A = this chain, B = another copy of it.
Amino acid sequence: MSLDNNNNATELPSPYLLFVGDVVEPGFAKTAFGLRDWAADKCIGEYACDPAAVRTGLPQLSPADAAARGAKAMVIAVANRGGVIPPHWRPALIEALAAGLDLIAGMHSRLTDVPGLAQAAQDHGRRLFDVRTPPAGLPIATGRKRSGKRLLTVGTDCALGKKYTALALADAFAARGVAVDFRASGQTGIMIAGGGIPMDSIVSDFEAGAAESLSPDAAPDHWDVIEGQGSLLHPAYAAVSLGLLHGSQPDVFVVCHEPGRAHLLGVPDYGVPTVEEIVDLTIALGRRTNPAIRCAGFAYNTAALDADAAAALMARDAERLGLPVADPIRRGAAFDQLVASCLGVP
């Protein structure tokens, strides 16, 4: 996988040193684990400012040692509550700049808002990348059909595996010898891919245009596997989902779902829609920019179930829905069927 040169998408310097700060809660280090698991070739080591911090298993390196081994940037690979960069991380960030590394962050608070950091970057001739800051000059969508094939992961809610599913499918496509690019639409995905567009940070008028820029014309047998965002039935984020759907003009989509999740994450008054509702709406809206759109199957996040219960549930739902249902983390035969269904091969 690689990210083609694309004037409208952010491109990040790598390889990375992963900064884990003093974060001890693994749930707040998802970016670090995601980068380790999905961008191993981009990760040279980890750097903590507290010995109790989470461990990724990568070599522990100082910024100077990482730079000597070829690192080009230090990524803030952890978050803390509120998404702010605390003042006591500042010395470590400046140490990285002094060692010749650029800084990359995807938090709500920006690197350029940390007092003194912009000046330190300038003094050391380094750059600050806030991956939530969208690229300039995004176009209004044209709706013109682009060459190449596209897959989009969609969902019944946020945070149930749309990025993971897209990465797993792109990997499986590549393993079958298919030319494929993973296209990242959120901050962690952008760090993994080394580029992409933060779709939730785009001005609405340009949302579909940004999605068009994210997956440009490609060879006829090339696949872009695009990370989805939100849900068409999410009361806050559906605008992001629809702009991404229209601009991606996917040939194929996979619906991501977490069985047993009763309510939308953080929106207790809203139940999770059924996968059938999402299939119907995705086709009704998506066929506007790609009349050939089809659902290839379902990616279930079954982390809450044991292996037997998960397998039984997915087999039952595959029978009912008439399409493959697989957990991209558990893999197995069902996942192979999902991959084949996406590619339209036996």
Contacts and interface: CB of A to CB of B under 8 A. Distances in A.
A285 B238 contact: yes
A238 B243 contact: yes
A235 B285 CA distance: 10
Closest 10 CB pairs of A and B: A143-B235, A239-B243, A141-B236, A207-B239, A200-B205, A239-B239, A204-B240, A242-B242, A204-B239, A204-B204
A104 to B, nearest CB: 21
Interface in A80-136: none
Nearest to A211: B239
A238 B235 CA distance: 15
Contacts of A284: 280-281, 284
Given A202-B204, A204-B202, A284-B284, A246 B235 contact: yes
Given A143-B269, A204-B204, 9 more contacts: A143-B270, A144-B269, A200-B203, A200-B204, A201-B204, A207-B239, A208-B237, A235-B247, A235-B289
B267 A143 contact: yes
A232 interface: yes
A142 interface: yes
Given A200-B205, A203-B203, A285-B281, A141 B240 contact: no
Contacts of A288: 233, 235, 238, 270
10 contacts: A142-B235, A142-B236, A142-B267, A200-B203, A200-B204, A201-B203, A208-B235, A238-B243, A238-B288, A239-B243
Interface of A: 140-144, 199-205, 207-209, 232-233, 235-240, 242-243, 246-247, 267, 269-270, 280-281, 284-285, 288-289
A140 B236 contact: yes
A264 to B, nearest CB: 8
Nearest to A264: B143
B205 A237 contact: yes
Contacts of A200: 203-205
Contacts of A246: 235-236, 238-239
Contacts of A242: 232, 238-239, 242
Contact of A199 (B141, B143, B201, B204): B204
Given A232-B285, A284-B284, A288-B233, A203 B202 contact: yes
A330 to B, nearest CB: 31
A288 B202 CA distance: 24
A78 to B, nearest CB: 22
A247 B234 CA distance: 11
Contacts of A238: 208, 242-243, 246, 285, 288
